[in-house]
Amino acid sequence: MTREHDDRDELARLLPDPADRGLSTHRHRQIQEFLMTEMQPPQRPVRRPRRGFALVTASVLAAAAVAAGAATGGFGLLSGEPGAGADVVATQQPSAETPVAATFRLAAAHAATQEWTDPRPDQWTYTKYWSQEPGPLAEHYRWSGPPVTREWWEKIDGTKVAGPQETERVEELVLDNRLPFLMALPTDPQELLAALREELADPNRMRLDHAMPFSFEPKTEEEWNLALYSNISSILQIGVLPPDVTSALWQAAALIPGVVQRDEIIEIEGRKAVAVSVVLDGWFEVQLLLDPDTHEYVGRRTLYAADHTYGPDQGNVRAKKGEVEYVTIRLDSGIVDKAGDTT
């Protein structure tokens, strides 16, 4: 027996191991989830806009037209009887309405006509979605990969979330979700924007936006616009909120300065979509994707509107114009009785 074993064996004989219990499975998973959330790439210093009013282009004019539409009642009539919204809105079309204003108006109208029964607190939202992170930054951080289809549940009372864990078995996690906050959002678009901004600004409430490839703390108004727009897109992804709230979300998106509509119809996973975007500083674009016929939410996407080179914190990653960083398509959603149920 070596001296190493001599000392170790003797010490083991003298002293029993005091650590005779361990983390519970629940706590183990809770800490793991916490760490996976915390382990994000370093915060990227957000570039300041190079210009002020020089950036105000057709997009702002378009948004102004949308806002004018709202102010003149184009959106304000959406809280009427279910089933009547679309027709009412169609008749309220402002005479100088821009394409992006029309898209948001029709999306809000579509949302307002959806059937709805208030869920019980013990029920869950169910969302099934397809997503992919094919972009250069995702590649740099090695979280890119083939497209995935995932299912996710959130309890209406806000206390739990659930999804397939490592074992592929759906497991409930005791983690707060935003549903109580989202379900109670104001149905006035301006008030809704203010509520979202207040929540985003609260340092005690962690908001992760999976569409953003870098940590993002808005400072300038342009950055706030992007953050709010991306936030709205993430809320719409849930797909199961009261129709008046969903409608107000579309109206609120229309009020964000800088919204532009892309001309082309794109196709992702067999779904045709029209993209309505906000662009940060001319290079980073967040898109809401809508069905071109029904104006229903399809998904969201982030991509590069211009070539861009990140700073050293992001490994000086170079992105080319048109490269997609993140894209997701909602496949299904609904209210179910328990985690694991589908619609």
Partner 1 sequence: MRARIRAGDRDAFRDLFGEYARAIHHHAYRLTGDWSTAEDVVSLTFLEAWRLRERVDPDEDAGPLRAWLYGVATNVARNVRRAARRHSAAMARLPRPGPEPDHADGVATTMYERERLALVRRAMARLRKNEREVLTLCVWSGLGYAEAAQALDVPVGTVRSRLSRARRKLAGLVDAGGLSPVAKKAEEIREPAARPGQTRRDRTNAVRFAQENTR
> d(Cα 220, Cα 195) in Å, to the nearest integer?
18
Helix (H) or strand (E) holding 139: helix 136-140
Taking the least distance from each CB to partner 1, the nearer of 61 and 174 is: 174
Q: What is the CA 232 to chain-centroid distance, rounded?
A: 7
CB of 209 vs partner 1, minimal distance in Å: 16
Span of 14-22, 235-243, 255-263, 294-302 interacting with partner 1 by CB under 8 A: 14-22
Enumerate the β-bridge partners of residue 171.
163
Taking the least distance from each CB to partner 1, the nearer of 1 and 39 is: 39
Site mask, partner 1, residues 37-66, x = CB under 8 A? xxx-x-------------------------
Taking the least distance from each CB to partner 1, the nearer of 88 and 175 is: 175
CB 276 within 8 A of CB 103: yes
CB of 148 vs partner 1, minimal distance in Å: 13
Give 4: exposed, middle or buried? Use CB within 10 Å, 0-12, 13-18, 19+.
exposed
Q: Is 1 in the site for partner 1 (CB under 8 A)?
A: no
CB of 18 vs partner 1, minimal distance in Å: 4
Site mask, partner 1, residues 155-174, x = CB under 8 A? -----------x-------x
> d(Cα 86, Cα 300) in Å, to the nearest integer?
23
Taking the least distance from each CB to partner 1, the nearer of 3 and 50 is: 3
Taking the least distance from each CB to partner 1, the nearer of 33 and 188 is: 33
Using DSSP's 3-state secondary structure scheme, residue 39 falls into coil
Place of tokens 């996710």: 152
Taking the least distance from each CB to partner 1, the nearer of 175 and 266 is: 175
Query: Hey, which residues between 176 and 235 contact partner 1 (CB under 8 A)?
Result: 204, 206
CB of 35 vs partner 1, minimal distance in Å: 5
CB of 135 vs partner 1, minimal distance in Å: 16
Q: Is 148 in the site for partner 1 (CB under 8 A)?
A: no
> d(Cα 60, Cα 289) in Å, to the nearest integer?
20
CB of 177 vs partner 1, minimal distance in Å: 13
User: CB neighbours (10 Å) of residue 234?
Assistant: 19
Span of 20-28, 185-193, 218-226, 243-251 interacting with partner 1 by CB under 8 A: 20-28
Taking the least distance from each CB to partner 1, the nearer of 54 and 206 is: 206
Give Cβ neighbours of residue 21 (< 8 Å, ≥ 6 apart). Answer: none
* CA 328 to each of CA 124, 147, 178, 259: distance values in angstroms, whole numbers, following the listed order: 21, 9, 20, 20
Enumerate the β-bridge partners of residue 163.
171
Q: Is 96 in the site for partner 1 (CB under 8 A)?
A: no
Give Cβ neighbours of residue 29 (< 8 Å, ≥ 6 apart). Answer: 165, 171, 173
The amino acid present at 41, given as its one-letter code, is P
Site residues (CB under 8 A) for partner 1? Answer: 3-4, 7-8, 10-24, 26-28, 30-32, 34-39, 41, 141-143, 166, 174-175, 204, 206
